[in-house]
Structure 1
Amino acid sequence: MINLILKDVLIQKKIILFYIATIIIYLLAGVPSLIPLGFLYSVIFILNAFAYDEKDNANILLNSLPYTRKEIVSSKYIGSLIFTTIFVFMIYVGDFLINGKGDLFIWKEMLFIIGLVMVAISFMFPISYKFKTHYLLIALGVLLGIYMLTISLLVPVNDILRELARKFLTLQEAQMYFLAIVTTVILYIGSWLLSIRIYEKKVF
């Protein structure tokens, strides 16, 4: 399974340099919040790795290797956690070195980003396994269009989301964090099991 996770890194080794370069540019520009940055880069990297497996009948090749379908799906979910943690770590270390922030690791923000990615992946992976990634991208494009229309015509969604994130990050109650973590983990595991079931029934 480790080789499957390493595969996702190797197929994007050239793009990773582009990711790092653009992250540095954003940090030099002094982005006000690192949360959207960490979330977007993590999700883009994960979905891009997923999309590579759909090219040129790559799934047929994967299924000819000595890995079970359960291991193939599990490598995606485990790899997503590893990649997200690396990206978050890299962004916060970079911000500390470039902008000289007082705290090297803001654990609440880092956990918040990882949690957001886990929730997003929990919905994205089953859809991608059931259909194709490009259908997911179309759906995301539609949602983005609705989002842009909403913030320009109806309600200040950005302000609402920012306020919700601020309230979560300023919470002092350990029970609330525990509840949020448990809910996210249950959702992620449920998605994991659902994706395995979907993938095991697919015919290539």
Structure 2
Amino acid sequence: MFNLIRRDVILQKRQLLLFIPFILFFIIMGAHPALTFLIASIFIPFNTYAYDEKAETNILLNSLPYTRTEIIASRYVGAVIYMGLAIGVTSLVFFAFNKPFTITDIAIGSSLFLLFASVTFPLFYIFKPGYIFPIVMISFLLLAGIGPASVTFLAEYLTVITDFIVDLSVPALYTGATLIIVVVYVISWGITTVIYQRKAF
């Protein structure tokens, strides 16, 4: 399985050269650190899916001595590993340019990435190749644009939920959010595995 994860990095050697300039652009433009961490986390996993769509890699992968469960596991485990590496590199870039960020920014960025991955990873195996990647990227940009406004709107009009969240202690809030995100990610992993097991290549 870890050879499959390594394969993604090897295939993206050229794209990885663009990673730091890509992150630098958002930092210089003054994007919120949480958004920068989110975008950095998305870079490798979604580039991998884009490459696989073009090359029809799933036909090749299914001819190798890996089970379909292992192929999907490599996607989900790999996404977490790449997220950790991306956050580490992005943090170093923030330090190098003396730009402030907090642990909360990292937590928000990584949480949003895991939720976004949970929703979109199964879609890559439901829709036809060539269609889903543009849809996912457009959806991401729309969510990035309207997401903060939606949260503000909900906070104003759903005061019962807002008051409940405000009353929680910080450790309880972080623990609850972490558990919810992990559960959603594991459920997504299971759904994607079932879809992939039944898919014909």
- TM class by shorter chain equals 0.7 to 0.9
With normalisation by structure 2, the TM-score equals 0.81
Letter in 2 for 1:190: I
- Contact 1:35 1:109 (C-alpha < 8 Å) held by counterparts: yes
Residue in 2 aligned with 1:95? 94
When structure 1 is superposed on structure 2, of 122-131 and 46-55 the one drifting more is 46-55
On the 8 A contact 1:43/1:117 being kept in 2, the answer is: yes
Whether 1:80 aligns to 2:79 is yes
> Are 2:152 and 1:160 aligned?
yes
| CA displacement, residues 6-30 of structure 1 (integer Å, 9 cap, x when unaligned) | 1111111111111112323443x26
Q: 2:38 aligned with 1:39, yes or no?
A: yes
Q: 2-side partners of 1:34 and 1:147: how far apart? A: 13
- CA distance in 2 between counterparts of 1:188 and 1:131 reads 20
Counterpart for residue 185 of structure 2? 188
Equivalent residues of 2:36, 2:109 under 8 A apart: no
Question: Structure 1's 172 and 108: CA in aligned 2 closer, same or farther, altered over 3 A?
Answer: farther
**Cα 1:36–1:100 shift into 2, 3 Å:** closer
Change in 2 beyond 3 A, CA 1:21/1:141: closer
Distance 2:122 2:136 in 1: 14
Bigger mean CA offset, 40-49 vs 74-83: 40-49
1:107-122 matched pairs, under 5 angstroms? 107-122=103-118
Shift of residue 135, structure 1, vs aligned partner: 2.5
Which amino acid letter does the alignment assign opposite residue 171 of structure 2?
A
Relative distance call for 1:159 and 1:127 in structure 2 (3 A) is closer
What is the DSSP-based 3-state SS (H/G/I as helix, E as strand, rest coil) of the residue aligned with 1:54? helix
**Matched residue type, 1:157:** A
Moved more, 60-69 or 136-145: 136-145
The answer (yes or no) to whether the contact 2:40–2:87 under 8 Å persists in 1 is no
Identity %: 31
TM-score (structure 1 length as normaliser): 0.80
How many correspondences in the alignment? 189
The one-letter code of the counterpart of 2:200 is V
1:168-197 superposed Cα distances (whole Å, 9 cap, x missing partner): 9xx852111111000000000000000000
How far residue 88 of structure 1 moved from its aligned partner, in angstroms, is 1.1
Which amino acid counterpart does residue 85 of structure 1 have in structure 2? G
Matched AA of 1:96: F
List runs of 5+ in structure 2 lacking aligned partners. Answer: 157-164
CA contact (8 A) 1:38 1:113 kept: yes
Shift of 1:146: 8.6
> Mean alpha-carbon deviation: is it higher for 138-147 or for 11-20?
138-147
Q: Any residues of structure 2 matched to 1:116-195 within 5 Å, and which?
A: 116-132=112-128, 134-138=131-135, 140-141=137-138, 144=141, 157=149, 160=152, 172-195=169-192
Counterpart CA distance in 1 for 2:76 and 2:143 is 29
Q: For residues 20-35 of structure 1, what are the structure 2 equivalents within 5 Å?
A: 20-27=20-27, 29=28, 31-35=30-34
Q: Which one is further off, 139-148 or 65-74?
A: 139-148
Question: Do 1:24 and 1:94's aligned partners in 2 also have CA atoms closer than 8 Å?
Answer: yes
Q: CA deviation at 1:144?
A: 4.5
Contact 2:40-2:90 within 8 A present in 1 as well: no
Q: Could you report, residue by residue, the CA deviation over 1:20-63 in whole angstroms, capped at 9, with x for unpaired residues?
A: 12323443x26252111121232242111012222333111100
Q: Distance in 2 between matches of 1:200 and 1:72?
A: 10
